[in-house]
Amino acid sequence: MIKTLTKHGNSYALVIEKPILELLRITPETPFEIMSDGQCLVLTPMRDTQEEKKFQKSLETIHTRFGRAMKRLAE
């Protein structure tokens, strides 16, 4: 995906579409760590550890309960 910056007041912004926000489980309130090596820009969402543990536990529960059905659906 190729993106361009959008003028936002006296600054520029990178617009992230809703499907990507949902995929990454980020909201406008999600803080990011921003790093650069001088060539690339890396944005990493900062996760609440308790929320992340709860999410991972939910994934494990879904996999345990519906893993076989999901595998059959994928075939």
pLDDT per residue, tens digit, the chain (75 aa), is 899 999 999 999 999 999 999 999 899 899 999 999 999 999 999 887 787 788 889 889 999 999 899 889 888
Which parts of the chain are beta strand (E)?
Answer: 6-8, 11-13, 32-36, 41-45
Q: What does R_g of the chain's alpha carbons equal in angstroms?
A: 17
User: What's the predicted TM-score (pTM) here?
Assistant: 0.54
Domain boundaries, the chain: 6-74
Distance CA 70, CA 61 (A): 13
**How far out from the chain centre does Cα 57 lie?**
18
Q: What is the spatial distance between Cα 51 and Cα 24, in angstroms, rounded to a whole number?
A: 14
